[in-house]
Every structure is written in C-alpha cells, then in structure tokens.
Structure 1
Amino acid sequence: MAQFDVYANPSSHSKAHYPYLVDIQSAVLTDLVTRIVIPLGRTSAFGGESMKGLTPHISFEGEQFLLLTPQIASIPVKHLKNPVGTLAHFRERIVAALDLAITGI
C-alpha cells in the first residue's frame, strides 16, 4: 500500500456518492491493521460547492471529485483491495487540505 493510492469504496451504503477512498497514511506505518483514508465525493452530489482549501477539487478517472477532508476516517486494511490508481500528483493539494483541517492555516 502506498500513500495516496486510491481504492474503491467497499461500503454498499456510501459508494454511490463516495466511490473512492484515498489512502493518506504514511508508508512508515505498515504494521497497523488500519489505514487512514479520505473519501472522494462526486462534485455533482454537492452542487459543485467546495470549501476552499479544505475540500479541493480532484480529477480522477475522467470525473471531478471533492477530497472530503472533514470526513477523514480509518478503515481496516482488509477492506482495501487492489488500488485503482494514485493521487500522488495531487500530494501538495492533499497535504494542504490536511494542514488546514489540523492547524487552520
């Protein structure tokens, strides 16, 4: 598992609006049985609205999503199957959203 890998959301309840989870956990923490993730929500589900900096727009697989930083969570590793892509190229945007959520700057 690599930081910023994207996985299909395993939840049958939420995957319609939040089809993907982004693994944001450092690769240093490989011994944990959970991973810290942030869901990607379809922009259309939010009327195109975002919170500047906190929920940045992310393009993935030809669609537009919001990185839903306030919905950060952990999930058991066993629920994250094969990654379907990576958002490593959005690293700065993701880290900036986390910084805003944690430090307010």
Structure 2
Amino acid sequence: MAQFDVYRNPSKKTNKAYPFLVDVQNSVIDQLATRLTVPLTTNNAKNSLYMEKLTPKIEFEGETYLFLAQQLSSIPEEVLHDCIGSLSQSRDLLIDAIDFAITGV
C-alpha cells in the first residue's frame, strides 16, 4: 500500500455516496493494522460540503470528485483491496486539505 493509492469503497452502506477511498497514511507507519483514509464523493455533492481548501476538486477516472479531508478516518487495512489508481500527482493539494482540516491554516 502506498500513500495516495485509491481503492473502491467496500462498504455497501456508504459506497454510493463515497465510491472511493484515498489512503493518506505514510508508509513510515505501515506496520499498523489500520490505514488513514479520506473519501471521494461526486462533485454533485451539496454545496455545503464544498470549501475549496478543505474539499479540493480531484480528477479521477475521467470524473471530478471532492476530496473530503474533514472525513479523515481509520479503517482496517484488510478491507482495502485492489488499488485502482493513485492521486500521488495531487500530493501537495491533498496534504494542504488535511493540514487545513487540522490547523485551519
């Protein structure tokens, strides 16, 4: 698993609203049984979810999604299967969103 790899959301309960999960955990702590992830949602989400710095627009698989940094969560590593892509090219944007969620700066 690598930082910024993208996985399909395995949860039948939430995968319609949040089809993808982005692994944002650094590999320095890859010995943990959990991974820190941030969901992606379609750009058609309610405007109240959209704050440019907190929820940047991300292009993935030809679609535009919002990276929901405020929904950072830990999930068991074992549920993440079959990496389907990477957002490593957007590293700075994603780190800035997470930083803004934590520090407000």
TM-score class normalised by the smaller sequence: over 0.9
Q: Give unmatched runs, 5+ long, in structure 2.
A: none
Partner residue of 1:21?
21
Name the aligned partner's letter for residue 67 of structure 2: L
Name the aligned partner's letter for residue 80 of structure 2: L
> Over aligned residues, Cα RMSD in angstroms?
1.3
Partner residue of 2:38?
38
Map Cα deviations across residues 30-58 of structure 1 (whole Å, 9 max, x no partner). Answer: 11000000000111133596112000000
Q: Tell me the secondary structure at the aligned position of residue 44 of structure 1.
A: coil
Aligned residues: 105
Q: TM-score, normalised by structure 1?
A: 0.95
Matched-pair identity in %: 46
Q: Tell me the secondary structure at the aligned position of residue 44 of structure 2.
A: helix
Q: Give unmatched runs, 5+ long, in structure 1.
A: none
Name the aligned partner's letter for residue 98 of structure 1: I
4+ residue segments displaced more than 4 Å: none
Question: 2:54·2:101 contact (CA, 8 Å) conserved in 1?
Answer: yes
Q: TM-score, normalised by structure 2?
A: 0.95
